[in-house]
Amino acid sequence: MLERVRDGAFAALSARVFYGWWILGVAALGIFASGPGQSHTFSVFVKPISAELGITPAAVASAYAVATMAAAFGLPLMGKLVDNYGPRRMTLVVSLALGFACLFFGAASNLIFLGLGFAALRFLGQGSLMLNYANLVSQWFDRKRGFAMSLMALGFAASMAVHPPLG
């Protein structure tokens, strides 16, 4: 009995509300949350990281560049995982992994761990989250897909405006 009432309520609500807009809002927020793996956030911390680890800013930037390249090579695997398991499930996994990557990055004590932390942040934050959210939004929108993707991209613009001053 309770199941019928619940199913009826959801059916009535679904007839009036297009959940794609909710997915779009979550995706924009997720893109915003990918800020820890983005260049605009990293650039704020080059001097403090180099001072803390006793390495040159050029070494920090080089570690970042190599890590970015390494992370990019992992994205085809993430695309395959998204195809196999779906963007919703993979977004959950990637979000949790990004949290652990942030913790790992915060504990980096030398150039090697710094590079591994950068690679994890770039692969999970900048690469995988954006891939997953773009997939989610594109699955929900057909006619207004371009408009929806542009609204989702506003999350990235907000990240560029908010994360560096917070850093």
What is the separation of C-alpha 127 from the centre of its chain, rounded to a whole number of angstroms? 7
CB 94 within 8 A of CB 128: yes
4, part of any domain: no
132, part of any domain: yes
Query: Average pLDDT of 67-93?
Result: 93
12, part of any domain: no
21/8: higher pLDDT: 21
Query: Average pLDDT of 80-97?
Result: 93
Query: What is the extent of the structural domain holding 54?
Result: 18-166
What pLDDT shows up at residue 12?
67
Tell which residue, 106, 109, 101, has the closest CA to residue 167.
106
116, part of any domain: yes
Q: Round to whole Å and give the CA distance between 121 and 124.
A: 5
Total domains present in the chain? 1
pLDDT tens digits for range 89-112 = 999 999 899 889 989 988 899 999
> Is residue 16's pLDDT more than 80?
no
Q: Is the pTM of this model over 0.75?
A: yes
What pLDDT shows up at residue 78?
95
- The structure tokens listed for 126 are 């900048």
91, part of any domain: yes
Cα angle vertex 71, ends 65, 72, to 5°?
A: 90
117, part of any domain: yes
Say what the alpha-carbon torsion angle 9, 10, 14, 16 is, to the nearest 10 degrees.
20
83, part of any domain: yes
114, part of any domain: yes
